Each structure stands twice: as structure tokens, then as C-alpha cells.
Structure 1
Amino acid sequence: MSDVVGGLPGDPGPDPAAIDRVVAAALDEDLGPGAGRDVTTQATIVPDERGAADLVARADGVVAGLVVVPVVLDAVARRLALPRATVEVVVPDGTRVRRGDVLARLTGPVQVLLVAERTLLNLASRASGVATHTRRWADALAGTGALVLDTRKTTPGLRALEKYAVRCGGGTNKRMGLYDVAMVKDNHVAAAGSVTAAVEAVRARFPGVAIQVEADTEDQAREAIAAGARFLLLDNMATPLLARVVAAVREGEAASGRVELEATGNLTLDRARDVALTGVDYLSVGGLTHSSPILDLALDLTTA
């Protein structure tokens, strides 16, 4: 695995093995079979030519994904059997940037810089787009006590990077996959016969796993709590109904203990603050990862 730089301060960063896999797959797509080749760069630039390049923001936003830059450069250098390039990060992931800001400076063999260009831009632009979108939600919720959560609606293969980007934008990760948290939804309830039966089945089969339950009505919320659930997804509720359900759950916490509440479904930025002020702990937003446009970034060769 390659060293990573430019991470969000205090954050462990995305899983290095996951980043290595996605970089390898991206380079395979771009360079073709075996070690691969760039027929333009390798025809016009000699292997021992060295140079520098700036990674630059072409739009305002929040930067994320600089951790992938050295990984891509190292992978390209290995494929071309050339020396490693170096990266000087100017601003860390999670930083608000303006159009024209230099994010990082790269130095090394020009072949390595140019062969790596599109792959590192694709990944960093994608991550920065997710972080930028997430920051809008985090800003909208500021002061309410509610946090914005991501979902599993991620780009296949990019989950580790996209969930890291959510954190860079001020959001919070929900479960990483189907393996770490049980989430009882309407189809599970239908299959099991009831909310209670579904919760009991999960507890019997996987006793150490946290259980979250989706509720469409106040009655379902009450049933889930009675069954022992302490995390509810309040799904597709209009704001007045959501407020009533939250109030009912909070009133019962003297007996049940603390219940974490998440609003989910049909959430938009223009109603985010009103939803948060109902007293929920979280708003989950699949659009953070499935609908974020990229943040336009560029790699500008400065010397050759």
C-alpha cells in the first residue's frame, strides 16, 4: 500500500486497501492490459524528463480526496518503472477553497505526472464534489443539534472514498455495509410478519449487532421501541407528523431510555432546517453520494 498525505485532520482516512484497489482498476481502464501504456505521453516525452505541476481548483467548494494523489502517482511510477513523484499538499482535505486555489504541488518524472493526471483528477474531483454537497447540508443544520448522514447509495467501488468525502464535508457516516448494522425495513417486516418478529429474528441470529428500524407511522415507531430498538428511521414523514412522532418518542424515553431518531426520505435542503428542528438526531441523505456533481479540478504543468 502507498503512503497517503493530505488527509482530513484527526480522521483515519479511507481504507488504504480500498483506495489501492480502486486506483488499480482505474489505471487498468485507462492504460490497457499489463503494465499498460499512454501512447501520447510516452511518444512525446522522454522517460528521464522531470517537471512539476499544480493541482488547482477551477470552482469554489470543499476539497477532499487529496489522499489518493500519491497513491495514483506511486502506482503509475511502478507501472512505468520510473522514480516516484512527490506531493506537497497546500491545503488539507476538508478545506473550503476558491476557484484558482492551488491544492497541491507535484514534482517528478513528467511521464508519471501526465499518465496519472486523469485518474487522480477523476477521484479527487468526485470526492471533492461529495464534500462540497455535504457541506451545504452541514451548514443548513448548523446550530440545530442534528447531523447529516450518508447512506449506502454510493458508487460501486468508491464507498470508502465517498464516505470519507462525506466526513470531509462535515457529515457523518452511517453503516458501511450490510454487515455491520442491521436495518429492518418494510420488506423485512413484510417477510418476518411484523416489526417485533423482525427485530427478534435479528437479535437471535446476530445478537451483537446494533439494530435500526424503519418506521412509517407512530404505531410502528412505538412497536419498534417496545421490541427493543433504540434507533429509528422515521421514513417519508411530512414535517408535522414527524414532529408529533418525535415528541411521542421523547416523552416515552423516561421508560425506554434514549432513542436515536433519524429523518429519512424526501429530504431537501430547503426543508432541512425545519426537519432538524423537530428534534431528530439525524437526517440521512442518499443524494450526498448518488447525486453530487464533481468539483472541477485541473492539473497544470508548471515546468518541463
Structure 2
Amino acid sequence: MRVLDLSGSPLEELPDSIGSLFHFKFLNLNSNNKIRRLPNSICKLLNLELLNLDGCTALEEIPEGIGNLINLRSYLPKGIRHLTFLQFLYFHRCVNLTSLGEEIQFLSNLRQLWISSCENLESLSPDLNLLTALDTLFISDCVKLDLMKNTEGPQGLRSFGIFDSDLAALPPWLEDSSNVMQSIAIERCNNLNELSELQKYTFLEHLAIEDCSNLVGLPHGMHCLTELRELKIADCPKLSRSCRRQLKAKESKFTREVKITVDFDVDTDEEDTSMINQLRSCR
């Protein structure tokens, strides 16, 4: 069997056994308005070329392993614009994915978007600002992705993470969520040499910066982040060396209320070590 047409069926879920039908090339789930999620076993259909989800209006989640379907003609399944209940979308190792396209803008309930190891992805959707429910965006190891192409971003992001990127600076559109952002994580971004002004991120609670070898200083206006509760810096040699001087100059209220975790190089002198230990003990 190469084709399975389940269009218009009353199914509420697909059986896990569907993953054993590895000769499938076309799976039609059109107008299945009761299915809420697809089984992870669907990612075993390595010969699948077309997945039609048009009319699956109750679907909330697409399996993270969708990238395993190396013969799928589109990683954004046909009809994705109608998946208005979809809340979580994962792209992992989708080697043929070059753009998220324009249909993603219609996912009005999408809350979390995770993209990792999509080596040929070059751009996000040009209409990220239309994803009004999106509150979490994590991007990792997408070597061709140009985040500077977008002029506008989501306005409701609460968590943002960028990992294994060659960005020299954070994308300007991130500031579109500055009045609601609560957590920013930056890891293994070795071209990053500066951070944008963060004084606008008035609700930021957690800031983690790890393994960014060329970052030389803390963001400006740190003392203005009155909601900040945790600052973590690790494996950032230049930042660590300058951090002790910057923290020493910060307002005492900032150092009292923020949990500061910083790894320092071996050249840190005794005076600076004493000062950091005092900062760490201030809660």
C-alpha cells in the first residue's frame, strides 16, 4: 500500500502502528477535525512524500521528529495554514527546509516554535509579527539562517534562546517583545561582540550568556532591569574578565537582588575574588 486516504474520517487519533507502514508515500488526513496530535511513530514513514493536514482544525502538535521524513516534499505539511489550534511546532534536522514560508503566519494559536539543526534554513517567515500567541522561540545550530532579514518580530515573546549561531548582535526585532520578555539565553555564539541595549526589557527575569568568546562586556543599563532575578555567565573569558569591574560599579540594589553566577579566569586577583563571593552571597 502506497496511499492511505483518511480524509473526513471520525478518527480522534492515529494508532502508533502506523509507523510500520513504511512504504507509504501519501497520507491524506484532510478534514479530520478531531485529531489533536500525531503519533511519534509517524516519523518512521521515511518514504512519505506528501502529508495532507488540510482541515485538521483541532491539531495541536506536530511531532518533533518530522525532520526524519527525508522524502517529504514540504516540512510544512499541505494545509498548515488551517491548523489554527496548533500550539507547538518543532523543526529538527529538516535538511531540505530553506524557509518557514508565509503560511505559518496563519497559526494564530502557535505558542512555541523550536528550530534546531536545519542546516539549509535561510529565513524565518517574513510575518513573524502576526504570530500573536507566540511566547517561546528557540533557535539552535542553523548555520545559514539570517535573522537580520526580518524587520518585525513577535510582540509577545517571553522566552528567547539562540544557540550555535554566528550572529554578531541580537536581531533588532527582538525589541518588539521588550515589554514582556522574561528570559533570554545565549550560548555558543562566538561572533557575538555586543548586546543590544537591554534597559527596555523591563520584565526580564533571567539572562544566561554561555560560551560567547568575543563578548567583552555586560549589556548597558543592567541596573535598570528591576525585575532581573538571575544573571549567569559561563565560558565567556573576555566577558568574565570585565564583569568584575562592571559589577563593582553597579548600584548596590542590583547586586543585592540578583542571583549572580559568573565563572572567572585564573587571573582573577584576591580582591576581585572576595568581591565576587560577596556578590554571590547577596540575595
Which TM-score band applies after superposition, normalised by the shorter structure?
under 0.3
Query: Which has the larger helix fraction?
Result: 1
TM-score relative to the length of structure 2: 0.27
TM-score relative to the length of structure 1: 0.26
